[in-house]
Amino acid sequence: MSKAIKYIKRSQLHISKYDSCIRQAYNSRIYAYSWYLDTVATHWGALVLNDYEAVMPLPWRRKFGIPYIYIPAWTQQLGIFSSEKLSEKSLLEFIKSIPFRFLKRSIFFNDKNGISIPNTIWRPNYVLSLKNPYDSIYQNFSKNRKQSLNKSSSLQIVISENHKVLFPFYRNYIIDKTGTKESDLQLLNELLTICYKKQKAFVVEAKNKSNKTIGGAVFLMDNNRIYYLFSALNNEGKKKQAMSHIINYIVKEYSDNQYSIDFEGSTIPGIASFFRSFGAINTPYWFFQDYSFLR
């Protein structure tokens, strides 16, 4: 199998075949599409099996002139994508096929890439299936979450494309706690501009009685997955449990179909507990980091 895997530069990829592979993959993720990586990655190429039967996108950049594989901002899961589940042996062949010139490799595999190798650790990711009717899903909400939804029920929930209204909240209340850079917010703005055009993103705002936004969240949407990409609240929004109402709105709006909400984490106990309180299940993924020059 290794002879059939080859690394192809971005400029030489057959993009329609590449994107078709991502779209038809049983483990498809929005982060792996060419247009997404073109926006968030400094450079990228891909390992390709035969005639795009499976692909592994590899974002990369240089430090001190040395190329290395890295994890771009706003990109939670990449890894190997295929229409059918690959064996662990096949997954390992992909890893072995990463060009040696990338001396450092940091990769978030997707949750379907189960690999038992050194230099990997599990990272939590909470996913809530929406296949059941709302009332059934609501029954699995925690007692505290149900109580939160009883508070400030007068909040108005509005759908928009106005993500910039959330940036001041993020800068004032969150950014210092996350390590997010101002350049990451600029990149998010570029990404969402493209996502709106492709009808792959929307913003849910929570407004008070004075019609002022007190918090909100940005969601990406692709196939049967809704990604909870970004959120921010001010103090009033936190006090009034605005995010509980926003998530509850999404559950109501998309319940009783094949969608799932992908909460994108988290390793922070309080945030993980918030996601679990909606009945979300942990579907962990691998974080792989390898320093070839230390071998």
Where are the domains positioned within the chain? 2-122+285-294, 126-262
What is the Cα–Cα distance from 126 to 108, expressed in whole angstroms? 15
Q: CA dist 192 to 21, 227, 230, Å? A: 23, 13, 11
Residue 1: per-residue pLDDT: 43
Which residues, at least 6 apart from 151, have a Cβ–Cβ distance to it below 8 Å?
240, 241
Residue 288: per-residue pLDDT: 87
Tokens of 154: 């007068």
Q: Which mean pLDDT values do the consecutive 10-residue runs of the chain (295 residues) have? A: 82 98 97 98 97 97 94 96 93 93 93 82 94 97 93 86 94 82 94 97 96 96 95 94 96 96 90 96 91 50
Q: Would you state the CATH architecture of domain 126-262?
A: 3-Layer(aba) Sandwich (3.40)
The pTM score is 0.93
Residue 115: per-residue pLDDT: 77
Q: Which CATH number fits domain 2-122+285-294: 3.40.630, 1.10.10, 3.30.379, 3.40.50?
A: 3.40.630
Domains 2-122+285-294 and 126-262 share a fold: yes
Residue 173: per-residue pLDDT: 80
Instruction: Indicate the Cα dihedral angle 79, 83, 88, 90, nearest 10°.
Output: -90
- Secondary structure E strands in 223-259: 225-233
Pair 47, 98: CB distance under 8 Å: yes
